[in-house]
Chains A and B, each alone.
Chain A
Amino acid sequence: MSLVGRNSEAYCAAPRQPAHYGLRPNAPYVFVAAARAASVWLAFGLSSVVAAHAQTIAEKAQICSACHGDNGTPPDKATPVIAGQHQGYLYLQLRDYKNGTRANEVMASIAGALERDEMMALAEYFSKQPWPNLRQPPAGAEATASARRANAAIGCTGCHLGEYQGDGTQPRLAGQSRDYLARTMQDFRTRARANNPGMSDLMRAASEADIAPMADYLAGL
């Protein structure tokens, strides 16, 4: 359906805003408007089409690609890479957007229209895409040392595993967008990102000063 492309472009209309994810009191006007448009479109488009099984997963995924990137590289650095991310993790995020434990108006609209098997299928689709190279520079010696100290203290690799590759429901962090990483760690600290309180606990036990070097380090892996 050509509708997908047309609407999703409009829907992701604020790619240069500083951070268009998370529910922020100062969320850009255009973003909220886009989200509303998306809800309307979704109610009409995605759910009905899905019900009829007329859309392939690749077609459904086009709405995701509008923000997360056609080739896996998101146009906005605050948007996470989902191409090559683990299926279990992506599924849980869609589930949590739908049930509201992860707050984001755009994603809530999208996920709200999806059933569990559709979430799983989309998650699988993106998990099989190659992880993009965002060409982020390796962290310097000082940031690397700080990041390693933080890992020794709170045990990041205990879940995100060696080389921060993740697995299953644990996301890959290596090579993720630096801005997204930094913002996400901050959101865990403040519990603005509320769908993994254990992760919040760990980030709160880390020092706020660790966030920048950790983001540099992980992005550069």
Chain B
Amino acid sequence: MTGITDAAPRNVLVVSDLSVEYRGEKRTTRAVDRVSFTIGPGEAFGLAGESGCGKSTAANAIMRLLRDPAVITGGSILFDGRDVLAMSPDELRSFRWREVAMVFQSAMNSLNPVMTIGDQIMDIFTTHEGMTKKQARVRAAELLDLVQIDAGRLKAYPHQLSGGMRQRVVIAMAVALHPTLLIMDEPTTALDVVVQQEIMAQIGDLQQELGFSILFITHDMSLMIELCDRMAVMYSGRFVETAEAKGLFANPRHPYTRALINAFPPMHGPVAELTGLGEGVRFTNIPDLVEVSPGHLAALDSAGTHDILGGRS
């Protein structure tokens, strides 16, 4: 306990000024740079950005999954008012999965190929809840039912299931212990659009039923705006813009956000030329976020313009 009373005590997760560095012998790279955000109960918050922008590193920091050479160098992470960075290994054991669960990128390949789906799900209940095998089997069947997979599939091995079904199984396993927060890192990137949409709908249904909060990480702005209530755009470790998701899509203020949205051309209307970032254009010295309209913050300089330095367009 830090003793500091949080401004919004109802928030499930409060991340303040989080910084993470990758320390090398020759140089140190700051992957997450003074990032702050909150997630309320039952809220879906999105982190968008391209590969290498630090979004996965931020998620791993929240789970305390970072290892050398990554070091959390500043800031705080409060979960339900408790300081995640001060947790002991024992506390972390029950914190992970039971309170915060994570679905990793291409998680469908993380299932053990030589164990049946049922055994893998039952493991969660026998290990974390101390259930007997019989009880665990009943719970495992219920869990599969939750993601609309026939309980007969408990005896199946992962290779007997399609990619979409495996992903459903992984998501079911993540919510098995009714976590307060579910972190999903690109949960649908390896899937076709049709399956992707069905999985996303499934996640929405599960959230309604179980009431968890979501931290959703992706580079696909269209997908993010469909699922998330609020979102942030991350670039080079910094937040460049954060707002209510639909508002941000309708009225992006930062040029990088615009480039990210333009990467996904619209599906209706006349085909108009879109512009992205020029090759080699880099934003540097990204300033702190300022409020541009209520609830909408962007990293613009005081004149409301932006800085592009080192551009090579």
Q: Decide if A and B are genuine partners.
A: no
Residues of A within 8 A of B (CB): none
Residues of B within 8 A of A (CB): none
